[in-house]
Amino acid sequence: MNVKLNDNVVVITGKYAGKQGKVVATSPKNGTVVVEGVNIHKKSQKARKANDVSKIVEMEAPIDVSNVMVVCSSCDKAIRVKYNIEGETKHRVCPKCGAVLDKAYTGKTAKNAKKEEPKKRVRKRAKKDETVGTEPQGEDKAE
């Protein structure tokens, strides 16, 4: 599935054709995506507590992934996603302008950049008093 979470997509078929939105949820097993503001369904919600009120809730329903196309962030056009493989990394690219669609990937420099390791946690210990716990030798026997 070439559509990922938080991608901007445009709907190409159906009632909401031409509408753009952000992907809220994906389901690769079913081949569906939930797009913000698209495929709105109404559902009645029952009151569960004594002080609650029953109401009709509008919610976004999933649509098939084949009905949406990814929008390139740099050229603002609906595109088919192209994959580039460099070594062991695979990332998504716009075939029209060549911009990288994956947020985490920044280019060839990303391989060479050092990963910051978290600081080691050092436990601070209280200094022990040398006078406490030590008794002078020879004075404990009173003669």
CB 102 within 8 Å of CB 86? no
pLDDT band at 80 (very low <50, low <70, confident <90, very high): very high
State the average pLDDT over residues 75-90. 90
Question: Is the pLDDT confidence value at 105 over 70?
Answer: no
Q: What fold is seen in the domain 1-71?
A: SH3 type barrels. (2.30.30)
**Does the pTM of the predicted model rise above 0.85?**
no
**pLDDT on residue 119:** 74
Query: What mean pLDDT, rounded, does the chain reach?
Result: 84
Average pLDDT over residues 5-12: 94
Q: Is the pLDDT of residue 134 over 80?
A: no
Question: So where are the chain's domains?
Answer: 1-71, 74-111
pLDDT reported for residue 27: 94
CA atoms within 13 A on the CB side of 73: 11
Three-state DSSP string of the chain: CCCCCCCEEEECCCCCCCCEEEEEEEECCCCEEEECCCCEEEEEECCCCCCCCCEEEEEECCEEHHHEEEECCCCCCEECCEEEEECCEEEEECCCCCCECCCCCCCCHHHHCCCCCCCCCCCCCCCCCCCCCCCCCCCCCCC
pLDDT tens-place string over residues 21-47: 999 999 999 999 999 999 999 999 999
pLDDT of residue 140: 56
